[in-house]
Structure 1
Amino acid sequence: MSALRALRQLSTTSSRVLASRQLSTVSRIAALPARVSAAAPSTSRAFSVSARRFGEGTTDVALSQKLQEELNYEKEAEAGQAATPDFLKAFQEQNVWEIHDPAGSDEVTLTRKFGNENLRLMFSIADIQGQEEDFQSSEPESEAEPDVEEPLHSYPIRASLSITKTTAPGCLNVDMVCQEGNFIVENVSFYRDAKLGTDLTAEADWKRRGAYIGPQFDTLDVGLQEEFDKYLSERGVNEHVALFIPEYAEFKEQKEYVRWLGNVKSFVDQ
């Protein structure tokens, strides 16, 4: 999630605790005998009728209003920003990788051709979701050194690269972690059947689980590791892409969050 939204949630933690206490008090009042509640004004019945226009529950209106508040907040934050951020423009201008970003999906795919090879690099925005808990768990008044700052995009994002050739069978799969501007290779797998190595179906995934995925990369000879790194870098799997991935992951996560707010509100309102 975006750092701005995480900071906003952190700053409202204490208010939520207060609100929960107030809600507990309201709940105790609601539990008073029926003869007491009967003396209350009849405005509650009017609210119930208007709420049921949205659905079958009495909480629909309040939820819809809160969703709209969040939408307004996010749209105001985006008002002064360009539709296409500078980092994305710079990446697209290089005209090396093509971005496939289906709306509503948590996966992004980068594709390119290199000689007789087809490269597909995939990563997911799901890896940045867990950063919310880490951010909120940090104490705002810590005694840590004030000058020590976490590196930008220091959290890891898993990526999977597949390489196939138009002139030869088989598929080379590389499982990596993208972090702090570097790709850390975990293992390199080879499949004789290119379709098995590239299919995204559940059946293909099940078959791959039973196949040998190769040794742990860091157990290979250091010289062999270095040659693999050069091999990947020559194909554009380099520092530039490793810096781009976390930035784009945050950019997409924000877009999907705003889309999610709108979709949920629309459903509640119907």
Structure 2
Amino acid sequence: MLLRLVGSVGRRQTSFFPQHSSYRHITLIAHPFTRRSSIENNYVDYVPQQSRRNVSVMRKSAFEDRIRRLIRNDIQYELDRSPRTKLIPNFKSFAVDERPGEQWIRLNKQFGEDEEIKVEVTMFRVSTPAEKEGSVTTENDLELYISMVIDIFKDEENGILEFVCNVWPDSIEIEKVFMRDQDGMTGKPYLGPPFNDLDDELQTSLYDFLEIRGINDELALFLHKCMQHKSKNEYIRWMESLESFVARNK
């Protein structure tokens, strides 16, 4: 009889709590920076998703505010060093086109009755001296220069005489001189030998040719000052655009 009773109990669905018990399961909530166990993954995380989104938005806003503050500080630092200025529209007989937002400027002039001169100048480059055995290059050894292309037009039949030059703070150095069509260059035309390989007297004559047209050491000095202002203005313009973009995404 006892064995029969035990067997019957063994076949029942045993519960340690009454069927209508007020017992509720306890949900385990893991710390957000701890790794959940396989048991914890079976429970529902009761942290509201809206709260998580609010925290994420707050962090994003604080991060973007910090970026904007750093940008404004950098802009103010540049303005404290020297104010932003506009490039003068003319230098002697050259008209100056600042080309805002670009890395180069253009100068134009009319020379005589049939010549038009166009000068395009790019941003600064850095020249490093030739390395010598046992020597160390320092910041004082570096020198800034500008690349300049001079196009001289006469008429459609004669094409364009083009000079490629390096502009130093107090001088202009011709690297190449050649003729090209007004439509540009196609293929691989012959551009002549390196300028320094030309006859010395011819080199001097070509420098004189430019000098007569106002392309001289005085222009070199102006261009270096001009590009210093250009570099500063473009940097501040870039920083302002960056700050404006970050602000629009708030």
The TM-score, its normalising length taken from structure 2, stands at 0.67
Pick the structure with more strand per residue.
Answer: 2
Determine the structure 2 residue equivalent to 1:163: 152
Determine the structure 2 residue equivalent to 1:3: none
CA 261–252 in structure 1, closer or farther in 2 if over 3 Å, else same: same
Spell out structure 1 runs of 4+ moving beyond 6 A. 44-47
**Local SS of the residue matching 2:102:** coil
Determine the structure 2 residue equivalent to 1:265: 243
Take 1:262 and 1:167, find their aligned partners in 2: how far apart are those partners? 44
Structure 1 alignment gaps of length 5 or more? 1-32, 36-43, 132-136, 140-148, 197-203
Match of 1:181 among 170, 175, 178: 170
Take 1:66 and 1:45, find their aligned partners in 2: how far apart are those partners? 26
Identity %: 23
Displacement, 1:123?
Answer: 1.1
User: What's the Cα RMSD here?
Assistant: 3.3
CA 164–77 in structure 1, closer or farther in 2 if over 3 Å, else same: same
Greater C-alpha Rg:
2
Matched residue count: 194
Take 1:66 and 1:82, find their aligned partners in 2: how far apart are those partners? 19
Take 2:54 and 2:65, find their aligned partners in 1: how far apart are those partners? 13
Displacement, 1:122?
Answer: 0.9
Determine the structure 2 residue equivalent to 1:123: 121
Determine the structure 1 residue equivalent to 2:223: 245
Determine the structure 2 residue equivalent to 1:40: none
1:74 aligns with 2:78: yes
Match of 2:69 among 51, 65, 72: 65
Displacement, 1:45?
Answer: 8.1
1:58-88 Cα distance to aligned partner (Å, 9 max, x none): 632221221121122223333xx4845xxx6
Take 2:171 and 2:232, find their aligned partners in 1: how far apart are those partners? 23
The code of the aligned residue for 1:117 comes to: E
Displacement, 1:258?
Answer: 0.6
Structure 2 alignment gaps of length 5 or more? 1-31, 35-51, 129-136
Q: Equivalent residues in 2 for 1:12-91 (5 A)? A: 34-35=33-34, 48-52=56-60, 59-78=63-82, 81=83, 83=85
Match of 2:182 among 194, 200, 205: 194
Displacement, 1:174?
Answer: 0.4
Determine the structure 2 residue equivalent to 1:106: 103
1:168-217 Cα distance to aligned partner (Å, 9 max, x none): 431011011111311111111102x2232xxxxxxx5xx2x612111111
Pick the structure with more helix per residue.
Answer: 1
Determine the structure 2 residue equivalent to 1:199: none
1:213-240 Cα distance to aligned partner (Å, 9 max, x none): 1111100110111111111100111111
- 8 Å Cα contact 1:104-1:256 kept in structure 2: yes
Take 2:54 and 2:81, find their aligned partners in 1: how far apart are those partners? 36
- 8 Å Cα contact 1:180-1:243 kept in structure 2: yes
Greater relative contact order, per chain length (Cα 8 Å cut-off, separation 6+): 1
Take 2:166 and 2:241, find their aligned partners in 1: how far apart are those partners? 32
**Local SS of the residue matching 1:226:** helix
Displacement, 1:166?
Answer: 3.5
1:111-162 Cα distance to aligned partner (Å, 9 max, x none): 111111111111111526x99xxxxx847xxxxxxxxx77xx9422111101
